[in-house]
Amino acid sequence: MFARVIIDRSADREFDYRVPPALVGLVQVGSRVRVPFRERAAALGTVVDLPAESPVPAEKLRPLAGALHNGKPILSTVLITMARWMADYYCCAVETAMRAVLPQVIREAAVNYKKQLHARLLRLPSNDDLATLKKRAPRQAELLEALARNALGEPVAVAPLLTECGATHTTLNALAKAGWLVTAAAAVARDPYEGEQFLASPPQTLSADQAAALLAAREALDAAPGSAGKRPILLHGVTGSGKTEVYLQAIALALERGRTALVLVPEISLTPQTVERFKSRFEPTQHEVAVLHSHLSDGERHDEWHKIRDGRAAVVIGARSAVFAPLTNLGIIVVDEEHENSYKQEEAPRYHGRDIAVLRATLEENCVVLLGSATPSLESFHNAATGKYRLVELPQRIDDRRMPRMRIVDLRTESQRQGRHSAQPIVLSEKLRAAIGDRLEKKEQTILFLNRRGFATSLVCPVCGHVHKCVACSVALTVHRQMNRLVCHLCGHQAALPTRCPECRDPAIRQAGLGTERVEEVVGKVFPKAVVRRMDADAMTKKDAFRETLTAFRTGKIDILVGTQMIAKGLHFPNVTLVGIINADLALHLPDFRAGERTFQLLTQVAGRAGRGETEGEVFVQSFTPFSPSIQFARHHDFAGFWEQESGFRAQCDFPPFLHLALVTLRCPHQERGKFCCETLHRRLRENLPPGVTLGEPAPAPLERLKGHWRFQLLLRARNPLKLSRHLRVVLEKLTLPEDVQVAVDIDPFQLL
């Protein structure tokens, strides 16, 4: 018997070992093992195969040294196949892909269940018993009485019991000595939602459109694996159309069929509100919901992971990496807000969570995918247009609520009217200001959106024009008034706020551009009686700040919420009737072919926060380019029009979804060397360029300097993405670059910066 092992943090190869007699039958495909490797006595690895024979002569093979988790297979064959597929597709080492599939705590078996002391009652005290004890030892009597409220023999956690009775371990031990109870340590799961009550929320009666969508999901669930009926469903539903209710009921159908469910949401919308909707639907029906996200402690992650692996959770909700949740018997994967860029991982393996979800569904025995969005990505909509996905639409809001009324404010005429020039940016146009005042009077709430943190986006000297730039990146430093510092939003570099220009020593330094801090300040001054709160990465550093602010907003304690994309998605507050988009142009002018798409999505999503209750919502979009197509299509809630114009542009310029891209970025501390290496790589790629692949010229990246490195890029295109990654792999494996030059390959990149 042999075991083929991928070793952690090793090169892209698999190694064979002998399975010693003690481990035969224990070690399986997917087990984590300890092996001797090179000079190391014990490295960790994953068994990916148990071949009967090995190409290496048996006497040369070393034996496995041991098994983690008692040999229990930690990775299913589906997950191993996914890792191999990712390595091939995204052009990275299998080991790198394996690392994404399995959380670190599980890989290393470094954490275990928390042990907690429990007490079990051995016999029930009578009233006489308690009365007698009360006279002699009142504390003991009280503790015994509290414990007797539980069933005989049932383990009860000691710590909360002692707190409740104000008793100590001495009291407990006395009762144990008298034979009333025994104590023992038991493993318990850490529950991040401990102590929270999830009230049952039964299914709602569906609208006709929702019912049609659910029917599509039902048909897919019952279709034969591999048949056309099993293809992914794209649920295109406007904001507030009740997509979540469709997800919930589709999942219930899967559960009815004895299967499990996985829900992916963008990290940013994994709010308590979202989790609560799933927990309160399923937990009262005895289907546990596990939650996976990046803020779990190692211990919590360990417990949630095993809860899923052991089949104790039937529904998993989580961010991107939850696509690798170790569910068995998976029946449905829901990807909410499938267009969101946070599904794309920006470090190797640079996978896209939505695409991996679709892949996983095809690898599982019998699984369907439901992709949902109010603003589908062009990639997904293209797949629907070509019939690869099935398109289902929810064109109306629930209860025939109207889509919010979109008003565009032309900032050019507004700045003329207010007599300003660009150095002093307009926060509130007159119309938006009037609208906010109106809402304050009516006790309705307002959301103000600006996708930029800080106070001012740059510090400029009006005399010599000097701009304060980051020492390590090619961007201006942002002024943070609360911290009283200059901060680089790319690398985190900080500097003191200068009192005069470092170049010409002039003291008249000007803070240009807008951030959320300044919006908060201006709004506070204009409406001194209103309660204004800010919600962005700076304001939300404390653990519960996010939840607290949302609760305060929901209960009406905040009138105006100012925020970044943190407030753009998924929030549902019926009393919000006004949304102001302070500057719609921010995303529009990035040097990126997706700028138009992103602007359309952002405007639609933010606008979707308005008018979710009885009263119609109103949205003000402030812009210097009010006639740009993305803004105009968003204004008319016209996805079809947007799709038509944008897909025309993409087809014409050979961009996704019509072709796949590979972005190669080289970085180096030395500009000349980086440039030279990029040119060399370009030459090598050009030799033997496979047919159907086109290669762009080497060029400095739009973000030319980042964290002290100079960056250069190459862009490749092809209809077949595997051609890109395979060609790149072959060339890169043969190319030796200086040590300080690093190459990153990004297949299907989201950002070209």
Residues in contact with ligand ADP by CB under 6 A are 204-207, 210, 237, 239-245, 398, 572
Using the minimum distance from each CB to ligand ADP, give the nearer residue, 405 or 572.
Answer: 572
Could you say which of Zn ion, ligand ADP, none residue 321 binds, taking C-beta under 5 to 8 angstroms by partner kind? none
Rounded to the nearest whole angstrom, what is the least distance from the CB of residue 136 to ligand ADP in the complex?
Answer: 57
In DSSP terms, 368 is beta-bridged to 332
Q: Which does 239 bind (CB under 5 to 8 A by kind): ligand ADP, Zn ion, none?
A: ligand ADP
DSSP characters over 64-106: P-EEGGGG---S-HHHHHHHHHHHHHHT--HHHHHHHHS-HHH
- Which amino acid is residue 447, in one-letter code? I
| Distance of closest approach, residue 331 Cβ to ligand ADP, in angstroms | 21
**Smallest distance, Å, CB 269 to ligand ADP?**
10
**What's the CA angle centered on 752, arms 747 and 753, to 5 degrees?**
135
At its nearest, how many Å lie between ligand ADP and the CB of residue 308? 25
Q: Are 585 and 514 in contact (CB under 8 A)?
A: no
Q: Which does 490 bind (CB under 5 to 8 A by kind): ligand ADP, Zn ion, none?
A: Zn ion
CB of 490 to Zn ion, least distance (A): 5
At which residue do the structure tokens 């399995």 appear?
Answer: 102
Residue 491: contacted member of ligand ADP, Zn ion, none (CB under 5 to 8 Å, by partner type): Zn ion
Among residues 23 and 571, whose Cβ is nearest to ligand ADP? 571
C-beta of 395: minimal distance to ligand ADP in Å? 11
**CB 203 to ligand ADP: min, Å:** 9
- Dihedral, CA atoms, 639, 641, 644, 647, nearest 10 degrees? -50
d(CA 193, CA 16): 44
Residue 207's binding partner among ligand ADP, Zn ion, none (Cβ under 5 to 8 angstroms by kind) is ligand ADP
The encoded tokens of residue 455 equal 């106070």
CB of 394 to ligand ADP, least distance (A): 7
H or E segment at 261?
strand 260-264
Supply the minimum distance, in Å, between the C-beta of residue 204 and ligand ADP.
4
Cβ atoms of 629 and 642 within 8 Å: the answer is yes
Identify what 479 binds: ligand ADP, Zn ion, none; CB under 5 to 8 Å per kind.
none
Q: Which does 470 bind (CB under 5 to 8 A by kind): Zn ion, ligand ADP, none?
A: Zn ion
Compute and round to an integer the Cα radius of gyration of the chain. 30
Helix axis angle, 77-90 relative to 721-734, nearest 10°?
Answer: 70
- Distance in angstroms (rounded) separating the CA atoms of residues 606 and 638: 15
Residue placing its CB nearer to ligand ADP in the complex, 145 or 638: 638
In terms of CB distance, is 571 or 714 closer to ligand ADP?
571
Q: Smaller CB distance to Zn ion: residue 231 or 667? A: 667
In whole angstroms, what is the distance from residue 301 CA to residue 283 CA? 19
Q: Are 238 and 374 in contact (CB under 8 A)?
A: yes
CA pair distance 509, 507, nearest whole angstrom: 6
Q: Which of Zn ion, ligand ADP, none interacts with 398 (beta carbon under 5 to 8 A by kind)?
A: ligand ADP
Least separation, in Å, of the C-beta of 440 and ligand ADP?
25
Q: Which does 16 bind (CB under 5 to 8 A by kind): Zn ion, ligand ADP, none?
A: none
Cα distances (angstroms) measured from residue 276 to each of 243, 333, 605: 16, 19, 21
Residue 473 binds which entry of ligand ADP, Zn ion, none, CB below 5-8 Å type-dependent: Zn ion
Angstrom CA distances, 442 to 575, 578, 615, stand at 11, 12, 11
What is the closest distance, in whole angstroms, from the C-beta atom of residue 239 to ligand ADP in the complex?
A: 5
Cα 676–681–686 angle (5° rounding)? Answer: 125
737 binds, among ligand ADP, Zn ion, none (CB under 5 to 8 A by kind): none
**Cβ neighbours around 417 below 10 Å, total:** 11
Interacting residues toward Zn ion by CB under 5 A: 470, 472-473, 488, 490-491, 493
Name the one residue in this structure whose structure tokens are 């020039």.
Answer: 421
Residue closer to ligand ADP by CB (options 45, 611) is 611
242 or 318, CB closer to ligand ADP?
A: 242
- C-alpha triplet 623, 591, 652: angle, nearest 5°: 100
Q: Which is nearer to ligand ADP, 207 or 665 (CB)?
A: 207
> Looking at beta carbons only, is 607 or 706 nearer to ligand ADP?
607
Other CB atoms within 10 Å distance of the CB of residue 712? 24
**Dihedral sign, Cα of residue 347, residue 260, residue 239, residue 748:** positive
**Nearer to ligand ADP among residue 202 and residue 528 (C-beta):** 202
The pair phi, psi for residue 407, each rounded to 5°, is -120, 130
Q: What's the rounded Cα separation, in Å, for the pair 692 and 206? A: 48
Between 112 and 204, CB nearer to ligand ADP: 204
For Zn ion, which is the closer residue by CB, 485 or 729?
485
Q: By the 8 A CB rule, do 375 and 352 touch?
A: no
Partner in contact with 245, chosen from ligand ADP, Zn ion, none, beta carbon below 5 to 8 Å by kind: ligand ADP
Both structure tokens of 459? 């510090």
CB of 488 to Zn ion, least distance (A): 3
- Note whether 573 and 600 are within 8 A (CB): no
Task: Give the residue with the Cβ less far from ligand ADP, 168 or 204.
Answer: 204
71 makes contact, choosing from Zn ion, ligand ADP, none, with CB < 5 to 8 Å by partner type, with none
**Shortest spacing between CB 201 and ligand ADP, in angstroms:** 8
